[in-house]
A = this chain, B = another copy of it.
């Protein structure tokens, strides 16, 4: 599969969407991105797993990172992509292949006013141990070094500051096995798990204001599993819960909150990542915000801006996708927004 970088950014987005790249299966897309970038003489290109990094080396006083992930959540009867009016529909259109297409178009600019590191990475949508940006940050942090970073996560074409943290825990409910024909001899762990679901149903989300931006938390079961055999009263039911918390709380705060909420159950942390405060007061961030229109709002989803934040690099989310459509079956991106995003960023990199 080849990517033609001379086509317009909307057609390029469709071409990228049609290379299926559910987390763990990014190879074909990473190959295509790598091949397209290696054809550009002003870039030095590296490949690490299914992560591709391309850098300009013009000796400018400032370096910026423009980053995007190649993977998507599982497809849901929403491939191949299709155009309806001004919208491009399909899995990963907004989250975040439209952003990847903008990155690739920008990468073709032979000369920029700032040095740029274009970063395309794998496994953003799953367990963070497999995240390509995280891996490179641990093994080769020099590749992330920059004065400012833009993450092309869907933000509706508006600069989104900070991000919420995320933590996943497994809550285990125990029972006692018995033959289902004499169920009164056992204790049904799946029935008992209703009490855990009741806690989730009763949860009222907080909406903290941090550095002037309002966040919106969430607490949800994302998996449930239980059962031994079709005729056995199950002795275990595990509910996996994802808590999204505003950046006024640390990861440890979030864990404490969950342990208290599910006191009496066995609670195991599966993974987690702290949020990032908006950080828009930083001059470089403020300059970018102005160049792209001035509008700014809170980012609800956790994004890898938190990784840059931890390295002391100011970072924002700015992508053409609409975040509220991410991971939905009817995900789409507004085509004019892809063009607008490319145009504004091109102006920012060339003036």
Contacts and interface: CB of A to CB of B under 8 A. Distances in A.
Contacts of A164: 181
A222 interface: yes
Interface in A219-256: 219-234, 237, 239-240, 242, 244
A19 interface: no
B220 A240 contact: no
A231 B327 contact: yes
Contacts of A270: 230
For the residues of A in contact with B, the DSSP-based class is: mixed
Interface in A286-313: 300-302
Nearest to A237: B224
A326 interface: yes
Contact of A197 (B190, B234, B328): B190
Interface of A: 23, 73-74, 76, 95, 125-127, 164, 166, 168, 176-186, 188, 190-191, 193-194, 197-198, 200-201, 205, 216, 218-234, 237, 239-240, 242, 244, 270-271, 300-302, 323-324, 326-329
* Shortest 7 CB-CB contacts between residues of A and residues of B: A223-B227, A181-B301, A194-B197, A190-B221, A183-B218, A179-B327, A179-B326
